[in-house]
Amino acid sequence: MRPEHTTPLGSASRPVTRYERGRITQDDDRLAEEIPVALHFNGKPFAVMMASPVDLEDFARGFALTENRVSDVREITAIEIHEGLEGISIDVVTAQAAANDAPVVPERNIPGRSGCGICGTRELEDVIRRPRPVAAGTTVTPDAIERALEALRAEQPINAFTGSVHAAAWARTDGSLMVVREDVGRHNALDKLIGAMTRRGIDPREGFAVITSRASYEMVTKAAVAGITVLVAISAPTALAVALATDCGMTLAGFARPGRFNVYSRPERIRDAGL
């Protein structure tokens, strides 16, 4: 555990004037950092995302996979990260770079906000992507889900310091956590998690993902592209997310709290729950 006074990467302290019950005090507030991250593929610009400046190599790997820039992260030959005054630039080099017939990567025409997964997408067919069916995967128990939720509280240093970022975690089937990633954007946090999983060789069929946000359709799509079979959200899913999860065979749970959660699709993967 980090000491309470330590400022974790991805956060900062800034002066603040507090007004409370007629009193004015000067203090320092704890804030999450949010900076532009420009993603290039083989030297060509694709998108600018507002993100937390931590775990950026994992972010690049996960983003490349879930945005269909590569079909397998093994196609990535290099990730080059450059810091500048305006933000951070990441160039993802793939095996296609050396091919004369490398496809043209469509560029997003506006930056992606931290809370937006589709900002800059120019065509309707680029928005609703129906993922391929996921594998059978494994089953998990309600106790494992509750154990993962409890463990996640202690594995979010930026959120503990600022109270303003999302997290995505990978849990084993017993609920113990293997990887946790944080970001100001919920999509970014999930991309970072997926990137870390691919880098470590974690099998997405042997465990489940937990996210500290709502389960939008984009979160379901990204998880399904990565092969995740069980996705547990602390907040609500959307109707489209439920439809896509059902369609691709993913188990989607929402409103996960100690002792309770709702299962919206494929409940057969939750065992010992009377489902």
Catalytically active residues, by annotation: 116
**The two three-digit tokens of residue 179, written as one number:** 């990887």
C-alpha distance across the termini of the chain, in Å: 37
Residue 58 to residue 69: CA distance in whole angstroms = 15
261 annotated ligand-binding residue: no
* CA distances (Å), origin 50, targets 163, 182, 188: 18, 13, 9
46 annotated ligand-binding residue: no
Smallest CA-to-CA distance from 202 within 182, 228, 176 is with: 228
- SS3 assignment, position 138: coil
* CA distances (Å), origin 260, targets 63, 232, 254, 256: 32, 12, 10, 6
30 annotated ligand-binding residue: no
111 annotated ligand-binding residue: no
257 annotated ligand-binding residue: yes
**The two three-digit tokens of residue 64, written as one number:** 């490349």
255 annotated ligand-binding residue: yes
Q: Which residue numbers belong to the known binding site?
A: 255-260
